[in-house]
């Protein structure tokens, strides 16, 4: 009887679920949800040949903050640029996902930004997002959660 390692069996099963053109995410550091996180209501995906970003989810309290971040496709464009910048710096190695929790004050200024899990990827992404949002002043006050998932080939 032929014995196939369980890891190979799982890889074959997952490849059928993920599609032949999408590599499975590499095991690595992963963001974890927290009590009080806003519901993730916006979702977008990026093709592996265009971006190190596989997909992203966004939610906020109040929901108007996430809606404002999505206006004109801003959030998908921003997340692609910050993921690309951090991948270029090799900051995403060993990272499957990162959650960015941000707070916006009255007047639209960014008052807090935290990356989870802490490390090189979270720091790089937070710095890049901070730079992207520095010019925004029309954001409503609130708290937002942005969860970024990376393609398997980039997370290695």
Encoded tokens for 106: 């009255």
pLDDT at 24 over 80: no
Return contacts of 47-52, CB within 8 angstroms, 24+ apart. Answer: 48/21, 48/22, 48/23, 48/151, 48/153, 50/80, 51/80, 51/83, 51/84, 51/151, 52/83, 52/84, 52/86, 52/87, 52/92, 52/150, 52/151, 52/154
| DSSP-assigned states of every residue in 95-141 | BSEEEEEEEE-TTS-EEEEEEES-SHHHHHHHHHHHHHHTT---PPS
pLDDT of 30 reads 67
Q: Which residues have CB under 8 Å from 49's CB, separation 6+?
A: none
pLDDT of 32 reads 72
Alpha-carbon gap, residue 4 to 129, rounded angstroms: 44
Encoded tokens for 63: 């929901």
Across 19-28, 66-75, 106-115, 119-128, least confident range: 19-28
Q: What's the pLDDT tens digit per position in 34-56?
A: 788 899 999 999 999 999 999 99
Give me the mean pLDDT over the 13-17 stretch: 37
Q: What's the pLDDT tens digit per position in 65-104?
A: 999 999 999 999 999 999 999 999 999 998 999 999 999 9
Whole-model pTM: value is 0.78
Number of neighbouring beta carbons within 10 Å of residue 84 = 18
Give me the mean pLDDT over the 137-144 stretch: 90
For 41, phi then psi, to 5°, come to: -115, -15
- Which residue did the predictor score with more confidence, 113 or 22? 113
pLDDT of 5 reads 40
- Which residue did the predictor score with more confidence, 137 or 86? 86
Number of neighbouring beta carbons within 10 Å of residue 76 = 20
């Amino acid at each position: 009887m032929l014995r196939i390692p369980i890891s190979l069996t799982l890889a074959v099963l997952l490849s059928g679920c993920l599609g032949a053109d999408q590599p499975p995410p590499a095991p690595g550091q992963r963001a974890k949800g927290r009590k009080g996180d806003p519901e993730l209501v916006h979702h977008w995906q990026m093709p592996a040949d265009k971006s190190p970003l596989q997909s992203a989810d966004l939610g906020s309290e109040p929901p108007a903050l996430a809606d404002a971040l999505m206006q004109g496709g801003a959030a998908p464009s921003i997340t692609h640029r910050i993921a690309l910048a951090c991948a270029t710096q090799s900051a995403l190695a060993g990272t499957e996902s990162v959650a960015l929790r941000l707070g916006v004050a009255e007047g639209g200024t960014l008052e807090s930004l935290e990356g989870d899990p802490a490390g090189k990827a979270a720091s790089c992404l937070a710095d890049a997002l901070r730079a992207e949002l520095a010019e925004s002043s029309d954001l409503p006050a609130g708290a937002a959660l942005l969860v970024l998932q990376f393609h398997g080939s980039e997370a290695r």
